């Protein structure tokens, strides 16, 4: 298999805190890879380094053969790595479709008309086409998460990093979101790295997961095996449960 996206020994220090400590992982073509771990483990920090929103203290990021370490986010996005944000903040003064068109215009290499067409196509794909001319404030949380996914898809990524797009929505919406994530891989051929606290979703979507705790990778493997790993149970629940 070919790695679409690869992290090699990524570390990030915030003052005295090692938010990521020598993290290596590899997202294969067509894979849905899970990055899990308790609150504060360093998952979003890892995503931020992969997507160019913060530079790593050390380590390297590769998109295919191309080293993209330390490039600014817009260049990383153009190269093909795009993340969604855990806390969704669309441009409130732009309509739903304008939010996506801006992303398409910045990253996809299409002209204005092409960008708008791609944006509309992605809104249709996530089920928000009818909402396209409204404003983000009129959307539910689940719809705003879909908008965030449509915005990311409008960049035409090779690797999509989904940061907790399911957590916080109701069970019916969560089930639909799982189906949507699977369709992104199956129908758009995009490789996906996802963080998620909703374990049922991880179990259903990911053939492989890596586990972070306090900035370090502590386990990797099939989700069913990993959740039985003593170190993983201890990371989530504390020592007495392990």
Ligand X SMILES: Nc1ncnc2c1ncn2[C@@H]1O[C@H](COP(=O)(O)OP(=O)(O)OP(=O)(O)O)[C@@H](O)[C@H]1O
Is residue 85 near ligand X by the rule CB under 6 A? no
CA angle at residue 90 from 88 to 177, to 5 degrees?
50
Query: Which one of 20, 26, 31, 44 is in contact with Mg ion (CB under 5 A)?
Result: 44
Sites for ligand X among residues 133-172 (CB under 6 A): none
Q: How far is the CB of 83 from ligand X (least distance, A)?
A: 12
d(CA 128, CA 120): 9
Residue 101: contacted member of ligand X, Mg ion, none (CB under 5 to 8 Å, by partner type): none
Residue 22: contacted member of ligand X, Mg ion, none (CB under 5 to 8 Å, by partner type): none
Residue 191: contacted member of Mg ion, ligand X, none (CB under 5 to 8 Å, by partner type): none
For the chain, what percentages of helix, strand and coil (3-state, to nearest 5) are there? 40, 25, 35
Residue 136: contacted member of Mg ion, ligand X, none (CB under 5 to 8 Å, by partner type): none
Is residue 42 near ligand X by the rule CB under 6 A? yes
Any residues with CB less than 8 A from the CB of 43 and at least 6 apart, and which? 35, 36, 37, 163, 195, 212
Residue 45 or 115 with smaller CB distance to ligand X? 45
Contacts 24+ apart (CB under 8 A), 231-238: 235/37, 235/38, 235/41, 235/211, 236/38
Q: How far is the CB of 174 from ligand X (least distance, A)?
A: 17
Residue 132: HSE in the Cβ half-sphere, 13 Å Cα cutoff: 20
Is residue 84 near ligand X by the rule CB under 6 A? no
**Residue 89 burial by Cβ neighbours in a 10 Å radius (0-12, 13-18, 19+):** exposed
Dihedral through CA 84, CA 88, CA 93, CA 95, nearest 10?
A: 60
Q: How far is the CB of 95 from ligand X (least distance, A)?
A: 29
**Site size with ligand X, rule: CB under 6 A:** 12
**Site size with Mg ion, rule: CB under 5 A:** 3
Any residues with CB less than 8 A from the CB of 183 and at least 6 apart, and which? 125
Query: Which one of 11, 26, 45, 101 is in contact with ligand X (CB under 6 A)?
Result: 45
The single residue listed with the structure tokens 């758009």 is 188
Query: Which one of 40, 114, 168, 221 is in contact with ligand X (CB under 6 A)?
Result: 40
Q: How far is the CB of 70 from ligand X (least distance, A)?
A: 17
Q: DSSP letter at 192?
A: E
Note the residues at the interface with ligand X (CB under 6 A): 14, 17, 19, 37, 39-45, 86
Q: Which positions lie near Mg ion, rule CB under 5 A?
A: 43-44, 86
């Amino acid at each position: 298999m070919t790695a679409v996206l690869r992290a090699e020994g990524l570390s990030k220090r915030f003052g005295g805190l090692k938010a990521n400590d020598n993290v290596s992982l590899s997202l294969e073509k067509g894979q849905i890879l899970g990055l899990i771990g308790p609150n504060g483990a360093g998952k979003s920090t890892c995503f931020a380094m992969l997507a160019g929103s913060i530079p790593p203290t050390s380590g390297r990021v590769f998109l295919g053969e191309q080293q993209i370490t330390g490039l600014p986010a817009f260049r990383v996005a153009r190269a093909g790595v795009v993340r969604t944000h855990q806390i969704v903040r669309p441009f409130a003064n732009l309509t739903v479709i304008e939010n996506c068109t801006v992303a398409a215009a910045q990253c996809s290499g299409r002209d204005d008309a092409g960008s708008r067409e791609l944006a509309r196509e992605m809104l249709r794909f996530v089920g928000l086409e009818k909402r396209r001319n409204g404003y983000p404030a009129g959307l539910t949380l689940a719809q705003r998460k879909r908008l965030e996914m449509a915005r990311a898809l409008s960049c035409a990524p090779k690797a999509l990093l989904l940061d907790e797009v399911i957590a916080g929505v109701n069970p019916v919406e969560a089930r639909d979101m799982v189906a949507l994530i699977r369709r992104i891989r199956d129908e758009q051929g995009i490789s996906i790295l996802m963080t998620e606290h909703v374990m049922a979703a991880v179990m259903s979507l990911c053939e492989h997961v890596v586990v972070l705790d306090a900035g370090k990778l502590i386990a990797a493997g099939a989700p069913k095996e990993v959740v039985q790993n003593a170190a993983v149970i201890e990371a989530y629940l504390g020592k007495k449960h392990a």
